[in-house]
Amino acid sequence: MKPLEGVKVVDLTTFLAAPTTARVLGEWGADVIKVEAPKGDPGRTQGAVFGMPYEDEENLGFDMSNMNKRFITLNLKNKKGMGVMNKLLADADVFITNIRSKSLVKLGLDYETLRKKYPKLVWAQCLGYGEKGPEKDSAGFDVTCYMARGGVFGTTVNKGDAPMIPTNGYGDFQVSMCLASGISTALFNRTRTGQGDKVTVSLHHAAAFMLSTAVVSAQYGNKYPKSRLEVICPTNNVYRTKDDKLIAMCAPEYDRDFNKIMRLIGREDLVDHPDYSNCDHMNALHKNAEVVKVLDEAIGKFTRDEILKIFKGNDVPCEACYEPLDMYDDEQVWANGVMTKLDCPSGKRCIATAPVKFSSYTEPSYKVSSAQGTDTVEVMKELGYADGEIKEYLAEGAVGGKKALK
C-alpha cells in the first residue's frame, strides 16, 4: 500500500514551492487535485525561463512540481465555481495553497473560515515572509525571500565576488519538503485528536534554518561571507584541477591529516612544517592563504579523476563537484533512484525524485502532468454533478474544461 493512499489533497497553488509539496504527496500515493484559475498556473509556461520546451505533451518545467496530479479549472469568483471548490474541500484531507492571506480571506478560503466548516481539514500554506511582521503581505519568491532576505546569497558568496547563480527554485524545492513534513505530521496527529491543523512554512524562515551553522556561529565572531583563501581549515575547501574541474575536499581533522595530504600531493618538504601543520598555530599566524595556495598549485597539476583516485584511495574525504550532465551518468544516482526517466516526445528525460524513501513502497509511479482542465468533468462527476449541470457550469464559465497551451 502506498504511504498516503486514500488521502485526498486539494491543491490551489502556482509556480514551485507549494505545488511541489503537493507533487511529493502525490508521489507518496495521495490523490492530488490541482485547482487552476481560468488563466492557468503561470508555472505551465516557465519552461521558457528554464530553457526548456513547454507544451502539453512535454513540459518537465511544470512536471517537476506537478506530476501525479489531476487538473481541474474553477472560476472562484463565480458562485457556482466556488460551490465546486467547497464540495472538493468537504471530503478533502489536505488543502495546500500559496495564495496570499488577504486574497484567501476575500475568497473565504482562509484557515479560520475553513476550520469552522471542515474541522478535520489540514490547512497548509507556503508563505514568503511569514504570518507576522511588516512583510507578511508582500509577494514571496525564492530569489527574494529565501536566497536574498534569508541570507543565502550574502553568506555563501566567496568574499569579494558576485553571489552564486543558483538553479531556479533552489530554495523552493527545499521548502516543499519542509511543508510536506509538516502536513504529514498534522495528518498523524489528526489520528489522535480527530482535528485538522494549520501548517505554514515561509521561504524566509526555511532559509535561516538551512543556514543554521552560520546563524549560530556568526554571533561568536565567525564572519560571513568567507574567502576561500581565508578558511579556518584549508583541507576543507574547494579546488580546481588541471582539466578545469572542481573538487571538494572535506578533511576537517587538519592536524591529523595535514602530513598525509602533503605527501599525497608531492609536497613532502612541507611535512611537519612549523607554520602550517597545526591548525590553531596556522590561524594565529594568518597563514591560511599560504596553505590554500600550496594546495591550489599542487591539485592544479592533476586531472579531477587523478586526484580523486589518490585522495579516495587514501581515505581523504573528497568528491567531484558535479554538474547536472555529470549526474545523468552517475551510477550512484541510478542505484538509489535519485532520478527517474520519463517518456517524452523528445525521448527519455531525467527528473529528480522525492528524496524520502519507504521500504514498503520501493517503486513509486510517476505520472506526467496533463493539460489544464483535463480532469474537470471527471472530478465533478465524482462530486455528484449530473451531466447537464456540468455542461451548464462549463457554458457559464464557472468551470473550465480541457484547454491546450497556446
Active site residues: 172
Q: CB count, 10 Å around CB of 404?
A: 10
Q: Which residue has the cell 592536524?
A: 255
Q: How far apart are CA 2 and CA 361, in angstroms?
A: 6
Which SS3 state, helix, strand or coil, does residue 319 take? strand
Strand partners, 72: 35
Report how far residue 290's alpha carbon sits from residue 183's, in angstroms, rounded to the nearest whole number.
50
Q: Is 76 helix (H, G, I), strand (E, B) or coil?
A: coil
| Helix/strand/coil (H/E/C) assignment for every residue in 352-366 | ECCCCCECCECCCCC
Sheet of 318-320: strands edge to edge?
236-240, 246-250, 318-320
Q: What is the number of residues in the chain?
A: 406
Return d(Cα 20, Cα 41) in angstroms, integer.
13
Please answer whether residues 45 and 54 qualify as being in contact, where contact means their C-beta atoms are separated by less than 8 angstroms.
yes
Residue 201 DSSP symbol: E
CB distance 120 to 131 below 8 Å: no
* R_g of the chain, CA atoms, integer Å: 26
Give the Cβ contact number of residue 160 at 10 Å: 8
Please tell me the distance from the alpha carbon of residue 145 to that of residue 151, in angstroms, as a whole number: 9
Q: Rounded CA gap, 317 and 385, in Å?
A: 61
Distance, in Å, from the CA atom of 53 to the CA atom of 63, rounded to the nearest integer, reads: 12
Residue 337 to residues 77, 290, 305, 333, 365: CA-CA distances in angstroms? 42, 42, 24, 6, 12
Rounded to whole angstroms, how far apart are CA atoms 40 and 74?
Answer: 10
> What phi and psi values does residue 345 have, to the nearest 5 degrees?
-55, -30
What sign results for the dihedral spanned by CA atoms 42, 24, 30, 181?
A: negative
